[in-house]
Chains A and B, each alone.
Chain A
Amino acid sequence: MNFTITRQNLHNGLAAVSASIPSKTTLPVLSNILFEAKEDAVWMSGTDLDVAVRVKVPADVKELGRLTAPGKKLQEITRELPEQPVEVATRGEQIELKCGRSNFKLNGLPADEFPSLAEVDFSEGWTVTGKDVNGLIHHTTFAVSTEESRPILNGVLWELREGSMRMVATNGHRLARMGVPAESGGAPSADFIVPPGALQHVQRLFKDDDTIEVARSGNHLGFRADSTEVYTRLIEGTYPNYDQVIPRDNDKVATIDKKALESAVRRMAVVASDQTHRIRLKFEPGRVHLNVLTPDLGEGHDELEIGYEGEELEIGFNANYLLEVLRYMPTDEVDVAFKAPERAVTIEPSGDNDIDYLCLVMPLRLLD
């Protein structure tokens, strides 16, 4: 293998791939990046066995070949190199970098030891825009569960339908759901449960104006645009029926300035218990009172003027769940809808827009 590449291109390729390399591993080859010099370009790949990232970088290839070399060290070296062409070549099982007068040889491992990436046939798949997918990922991934007890909720549910697609995530206490219109191009409907780590790579590597091909092969899902590919293992199982738990009869709706509510909740959270983060919101016509009372610590009170006509109602919340949801709301005002103190509360963007975004927060039971 022998190729010449600009420092910038080498750096970009390494940066894209290194993020998929595990920081600690018992399998040494996983700390390495696979280089594959082809006719017109060099492919670089990295994987932690769950997710794999593969990128194509322009280079002047003199001799075809494959080799793996330590990703982190290559990245550190490339960061320090001058802006000059870099000649990369294999010397037995070593990789050699020459740039100006700098010269490095690093121990590599044979390319055969590198795990083979999932074989995905993109001809039978879906086509989505980077903007749509990234928007869905951004607004839902935060809500996934980090608990191992129900692995199915450690993933984001991605529903692809005729004319639309949706992502949903929940940890059983709060939920985020977003949908966008999408052309399926005739591909059949499908549901995937995707690990959030893979979606973060997608969000990081694909730009809004990219056209992304998505295809499934067995238990793997592949994403591909011009020069970038992401593969991930899917989470197996049936996602719980989330639609059933979304209330349809929340008849009391408060319209609240998002920033003002966020600030007030954050203030209350200071005095809330470290363990429960419990605060109380008391709604009354035109106003919401925020209260916190933590034994052994103290109490706090705040109030906001809001658009609300319904009857008086007090609801307990984990302040963190409210703050998370508010952070991702795309509009200046939000509609908070509820029915009773112990029923699911929904939060949606307020006003005249066609944003299909809904977050749900389960209250804390108030015993006193």
Chain B
Amino acid sequence: MMAISNPTRADVILPESAPVKRILLVDCDAFFVQVARLEDPEGAGKAPLLIVGGSPTGRGVVTSASYEARAYGVRSAMPTAHALRLCPDATVVGVPRSAVSARSQSVKEALMDLSPVVQAASVDEFYLDLTGTERLFQNESFAETAWRIRETVLERTKVSVSLGGGTRRVIAKLATNFAKPAGVHIVPAGEEEAFLRGLDLADLPGIGPSLAAALEKRGLVRVEDAYAVQIEWLQRWFGERRGAWLYRRIRGVDSSEVDPRERRKSISSERTFFADIDDDEELERRLMRQAGSVARTMRQQSFRAKTVTVKLRDHDFKTRQHSRTVPEPIESDHAIYGVAKTLLAELRRKRRVPARLLGVGLTGLVASSATSQLGLFAEPVAGETERERTVSRTVDELRNRFGREAVMPGRLVEDDHAPRVPKGDAK
């Protein structure tokens, strides 16, 4: 392919054939469980049946579960209450958020010493592109390289990882399912089709439960089954674009590169409450806290957002969300919370029942430096003032120096500290 699209370069560098890509997906094994154990070796570290996420009373959802707990059927994103019914002896611990990001960063740093191109796909998944390192590692096979990376990461960071490898990202991703836990699985070049044919359609990334069900209704369960189906039929069933996408996906076609600079497309935060919340004011306070937290993360990465989304999951698991796109990208707590508050009010107006989860997301991210539409009036029509930006950035700096609780909106102070006025004085 490369020889056709770019003959000059291919002729010069590789006279015989285009380079075969060597892509690895490094996936941290039950990452949140590992981190919880590393952080608390005496507690979580000694509990084989460990669930991370939610609370011992059964609120919230499972973020990750130990392999031992998974044997009982516990899965991530499952309500913790349900998980505890399946595995009553499990120990439940909260998510060690800051430790997770610190460990993730050290895994990434270790990988950057081992591979020329590293892209963090999530907190516990990293793509490596080792294309062109054949000569460098000529004494070892691709699988041996992968094993060496695994050992080095374990030694340096104490985090156990599994590696899937192949000629494309999607193949590497699928191969990790065979590598886990603590292993390596490489799909050699040329054997992709045989590898894919052995899988279920539902295993392929992008094929969710509803698409899998739609395919099953037509008698297609295995990738093998779908191989024989012509693209025209897939398009007739699922529409032109989706049908064509499915046709390519079944064949493992994936031209996406491992791009270390791949930009973040969204920043979001979701929290399940310990007890359902039905009070509008309390929900607003939670929203203020979460909006502030995503806004801060975004500012640290020098972005502004054009779209704010608020998600609400009601007590009966009905999930709803509203989004609003503002004409000028915003970054300040004030502006982001302002939009989020309106969205929450809209959602609550439509259905006012106890809520179990609240989420805030920011999308349409633009570099802060790229945007500065000047306004006609001192007070902005939409968006935010320079002053509001400065306030948020100053608060960020104070928090960086003195800790997260150093400065916070007055409205949020109450939930963290007991009332200052002794009760006897109140009249």
Contacts and interface: CB of A to CB of B under 8 A. Distances in A.
Nearest to B366: A275
Given A149-B338, A153-B381, A273 B374 contact: no
B376 A170 contact: yes
A172 B372 CA distance: 13
Given A145-B382, A149-B381, A172-B381, A364 B373 contact: yes
Contacts of B372: 364-365, 367
Interface string A285-328: 00000000001100000000000000000000010000000000
Interface of A: 145-150, 153, 170-173, 175, 240, 242, 245, 273, 275-276, 278, 295-296, 318, 342, 344, 360, 362-365, 367-368
Given A150-B379, A175-B376, A365-B374, 15 more contacts: A172-B376, A172-B377, A172-B381, A172-B382, A173-B327, A173-B381, A273-B366, A276-B329, A296-B263, A318-B373, A342-B374, A362-B376, A364-B372, A365-B372, A367-B372
Contacts of A360: 376
Contacts of B381: 145, 147, 149-150, 153, 171-173
Given A148-B342, A171-B327, A276 B377 contact: no
A109 B367 CA distance: 56
A344 B263 CA distance: 33
Nearest to A362: B374
Interface string B328-351: 110000000010001000000000
Nearest to B368: A367
Interface in B153-168: none
A145 to B, nearest CB: 5
A273 B376 contact: no
A149 B377 CA distance: 14
B274 to A, nearest CB: 34
B327 A147 contact: yes
A273 B369 CA distance: 13
A320 to B, nearest CB: 10
A240 B377 CA distance: 8
Given A147-B327, A147-B382, A368-B369, A363 B374 contact: yes
29 contacts: A147-B381, A147-B382, A148-B342, A149-B338, A150-B382, A171-B381, A172-B377, A172-B380, A173-B328, A173-B373, A173-B376, A242-B376, A245-B376, A245-B377, A273-B370, A275-B306, A275-B329, A275-B364, A275-B366, A276-B373, A278-B370, A278-B371, A295-B370, A360-B376, A362-B376, A363-B374, A364-B372, A364-B374, A365-B372
Interface of B: 263, 306, 326-329, 338, 342, 364, 366-367, 369-377, 379-382
B382 A276 contact: no
Nearest to A367: B369
A321 to B, nearest CB: 9
B382 A344 contact: no
A365 B374 CA distance: 7
* Interface of B (DSSP majority class): mixed
A242 B376 CA distance: 9
Nearest to B380: A172
A342 B376 CA distance: 11
B370 A276 contact: yes
Contacts of A275: 306, 329, 364, 366, 370-371
A94 B206 CA distance: 53
A172 B382 CA distance: 8
Contacts of B370: 273, 275-276, 278, 295
Contacts of B376: 170, 172-173, 175, 242, 245, 344, 360, 362
A296 B366 CA distance: 12
List 3 A-B pairs, minimum CB-CB distance, nearest first.
A172-B381, A365-B372, A147-B382
A366 to B, nearest CB: 8
Nearest to A242: B376
Contacts of A240: 377
Contacts of B366: 273, 275-276
A150 B370 CA distance: 25
A146 B329 CA distance: 15
Contacts of A365: 372-374
Contacts of B377: 172, 240, 245
